[in-house]
Structure 1
């Protein structure tokens, strides 16, 4: 897709992208002439949900999982995402450039919508119902901007809890843009903020989003009830709190993480999928667990394919397969039979490589929704569930352990819905409880991009499972990309933070000397 760099974004017209790296931009809208009536503002606001649909699916989700230890590439994958799989991360890579550019393009959209909302709010003849909508749209824009800055910070900045020099160190955060103000004056292009300043903006935006959406939920508008139901297609105050809990986890603010997670759990609107229906959450899309599920419909409103990387439409080839060690971690547990084993992995006996068929487990968490196919070909597109109740249970449980409260209640509730025959566990100390929580996070969120955040904030490394086809009795391992096999990252490896794209550094002189360490 056409790349739009931060420096160019500050120059250009108001442009909207789908934020799916495999799709072209939606097009453009002249914000001075096209947004004059309330219905125009409503259409303008729809771009926020296009952003959220795009950045919670496809390569935005799976790229970091390919970089880490759960998956290994097959020799027939055409080197797709090979840079990430082999750990040869470069500032000139097109994927790195695209993620950065699309994120800032989405932030520009948020800023433009916020400016238009302020214009509408100042109109003296605006009705009370329209005032309510304007404030709601502002809340949604603040949430989306916070989401994008958080995504950028979690990929292009060092971890908040591990950053060298602390989060107040200079040039450790992101270039911050909060107004839509196109300019050709490069002296006004922003340099990098501190990481603390970046997260202050994220937290401020989320706080304002919560207030705005909570106020809308207190109205008698007919759509309020739908906002507070599982799989809501629009943002609610509970979706904001869920993201606030995640931010607090990433920054080590355990008290806030606990409070926000508990607020979502205790409201009673959502419930964990259980051992009898967990797999259906991924196959049939409907579940009591998702707090927010961006809307998709074929053919014009689908997100990127999250599952096609792991299985072809003819079900005879795959680009990446789960490592044998990953599969084994689900197959044998003292806690009971793990429902996620069947939900995430399927065994095929004819994955064809150079004319020879191999037995292989494939990752099938995203089997594809037939209603989202474009034509007859299986495209492995699913409605994504970026904010789920399971995350809140595990955040609450981790916060208990971090606060030295050796209370396994939330973890036990979670595990009872993931393991058949699960018996309540006790833990002799908070460290044992924490280890158990982190193990469940690793298993629950495979293929959702969460392990990246955890490895960074915990300051741990990894070694990808080293293949041994004869010893494992798994012949397909003779067909993996050798340069990616058994790869090791030490704790704090610089590649766990992506580089600022070289073209961005070249375009913005105020970023001189502000590249991330190791690049």
Structure 2
């Protein structure tokens, strides 16, 4: 979500306003340049445009929706109707709800921006063949200049492929009834720039067609990184080779292509819990990740700077403390899932140290009123960036090494490699993550594959809390494990929304009304139940 002054000019070709209002808005200010053929005349400007694409990349809507709709949160002490008036906390989800529209539009905006910059980049390359021509008379200075431009160009293109692939993977995960079924309906395939934004109508295509584009984009990006003279990106804020491998691994596991995932883990090893992505096994180390003091566990995260949306404000008004007016709190069922030695649920980790925590004996006899006023578990997953002086504002972690450890465990369980102490068993990776987070190194043994998936689902709930993953994990694994939304009795009884089966139709997002109304090609392709 980086902001930069070039965003409006770099991406000014987006046709987002109706032509009937053209006289009202089509006013050119002094110094304003809206022609992409003029804007993208240098490699510097292409890189500015890439920053503009990153500026629209966000997972905030997924994080908010998942935390409220599932069992990650409970109604907070200062709740003024949030999640209740909309019905979201009561599982009210339909094609007019905010979340489907936000997730759909956010991803297609990212795709649209990426597509348009790809076209502009190709135009730049066509108009400037000089940089790609081989001339025996070139001096070393000229060769260096050409290498600089072409390698930076390749870098831009590779990142655009990676960003577009991510957006499509996210869309399929949320809007397809079964992301593991290539023949099921996916989403709209937009890999070009429409000649007219208001007369191009696209239907949903199969998941298989979407995955073909995802796989192609990932491979093209990897090929560029393997052959280009451009330095390999290592920053957690940009699409790197590790980003691409993490995305591919997530895709394969979500598609239940477990053997392919196991093979990819073996052939393209991302270090599991060691440098450059060491798993944290101390409270201070874990807390430093949340506050963005360090980033060792992050393979990729979205930078959030002063002026960006404060994701922590989804749950707290002014700060992640009892006095910060929390209108959503950590659910009791999530809190209870962690053991007493787990660093993730220690004071000032996921839960703030100011929280009021009732004992098991107190809970056993608590009334609704007593519980509400005396068990206040404050969400602290996004406490704010102290270096920037921003409360509730932190980077959005997209790929972490903790997720990859559990993807590896899931893939191994999927091919039946359940137990043992070797790295080729699912039990090894579950035990390793638990050891780092709790200090307990007890052997893990699964009764069968269903048991393994059940344990992995539980581990993902703890490791990836408040990262927008719980909804999709229930959707993917819940029908096998029998585990859906399961709220603590005192969190749900007053509202009549305690459980939701993993097989419920609401674990697939509806196509938003805005798309259904505007796009005749998608009418009749709404998901079941809506």
TM score, norm. by length of structure 1: 0.80
Task: Give the conservation status (yes or no) of the 8 Å contact 2:201–2:519.
Answer: yes
Which position in structure 2 is the counterpart of 1:182? 195
Between 443-452 and 261-270, the greater mean CA deviation after superposition = 261-270
Task: Give the conservation status (yes or no) of the 8 Å contact 1:273–1:287.
Answer: no
Matched, 1:237 2:241: yes
Q: Which has the larger radius of gyration?
A: 2
> Alignment partner for residue 38 of structure 2, among 19, 33, 50?
33
Which position in structure 2 is the counterpart of 1:155? 174
Name the Cα RMSD after superposition. Answer: 2.9
Between 419-428 and 136-145, the greater mean CA deviation after superposition = 419-428
Which position in structure 2 is the counterpart of 1:246? 250
CA spacing shift, 1:117–1:319, aligned 2, 3 Å: same
Task: Give the conservation status (yes or no) of the 8 Å contact 2:61–2:102.
Answer: no
User: How far 1:208 moved relative to its partner?
Assistant: 1.4
User: How far 1:381 moved relative to its partner?
Assistant: 0.8
> Alignment partner for residue 110 of structure 2, among 93, 102, 106?
106
Give the secondary structure class of the aligned counterpart of 1:92. Answer: coil
Q: Give the Cα–Cα distance (whole angstroms) in 1 for the partners of residues 484 and 414 of structure 2.
A: 22
Task: Give the conservation status (yes or no) of the 8 Å contact 1:232–1:293.
Answer: yes
Report matched runs for 1:8-407 at 5 Å. 13-14=13-14, 29-52=34-57, 55-56=58-59, 58-74=60-76, 76-81=78-83, 82-122=86-126, 123-126=128-131, 127-161=146-180, 166-169=181-184, 172-183=185-196, 186=199, 188-216=200-228, 219=229, 224=232, 227-228=233-234, 232-262=236-266, 263-265=269-271, 268-276=275-283, 277-299=285-307, 302=308, 304-313=309-318, 315=321, 316=323, 317-332=325-340, 337-342=341-346, 343-346=349-352, 348=354, 358-373=374-389, 378=391, 380-406=392-418, 407=425
Q: How many residues align?
A: 456
User: How far 1:200 moved relative to its partner?
Assistant: 1.9
Unaligned runs of 5+ in 2: 1-11, 17-31, 132-145, 358-368, 419-424
Task: Give the conservation status (yes or no) of the 8 Å contact 1:298–1:371.
Answer: no
TM score, norm. by length of structure 2: 0.79
Give the secondary structure class of the aligned counterpart of 2:378. Answer: strand
CA spacing shift, 1:373–1:410, aligned 2, 3 Å: same
Give the secondary structure class of the aligned counterpart of 1:265. Answer: coil
Which position in structure 2 is the counterpart of 1:510? 521
Between 504-513 and 205-214, the greater mean CA deviation after superposition = 205-214
Q: Encode CA deviations 1:223-274: one digit per residue, 9 max, x unaligned.
A: 54xx33xx62222111110111111111001123223445212695322122
Give the secondary structure class of the aligned counterpart of 1:77. Answer: coil
Q: Give the Cα–Cα distance (whole angstroms) in 1 for the partners of residues 67 and 336 of structure 2.
A: 18
Matched, 1:456 2:464: no
Q: Encode CA deviations 1:40-62: one digit per residue, 9 max, x unaligned.
A: 1111111232133xx13x33323
User: How far 1:111 moved relative to its partner?
Assistant: 0.4
Which position in structure 2 is the counterpart of 1:19? none
Q: Encode CA deviations 1:414-453: one digit per residue, 9 max, x unaligned.
A: 2221112333434455554443322211210111111122
User: How far 1:140 moved relative to its partner?
Assistant: 0.7
CA spacing shift, 1:372–1:496, aligned 2, 3 Å: farther
Q: Encode CA deviations 1:145-171: one digit per residue, 9 max, x unaligned.
A: 11111222222221313xxxx4314xx
Task: Give the conservation status (yes or no) of the 8 Å contact 1:65–1:447.
Answer: yes
User: How far 1:484 moved relative to its partner?
Assistant: 5.5
Q: Encode CA deviations 1:51-105: one digit per residue, 9 max, x unaligned.
A: 33xx13x333231221112212247433334432211112123443233223222
Give the secondary structure class of the aligned counterpart of 1:33. Answer: helix
Between 290-299 and 43-52, the greater mean CA deviation after superposition = 290-299
Q: Give the Cα–Cα distance (whole angstroms) in 2 for the partners of residues 440 and 348 of structure 1.
A: 26
Q: Give the Cα–Cα distance (whole angstroms) in 2 for the partners of residues 257 and 463 of structure 1.
A: 28
Between 137-146 and 80-89, the greater mean CA deviation after superposition = 80-89
Q: Give the Cα–Cα distance (whole angstroms) in 2 for the partners of residues 330 and 494 of structure 1.
A: 29
CA spacing shift, 1:270–1:260, aligned 2, 3 Å: farther
Which position in structure 2 is the counterpart of 1:491? 502
Q: Give the Cα–Cα distance (whole angstroms) in 2 for the partners of residues 272 and 362 of structure 1.
A: 24
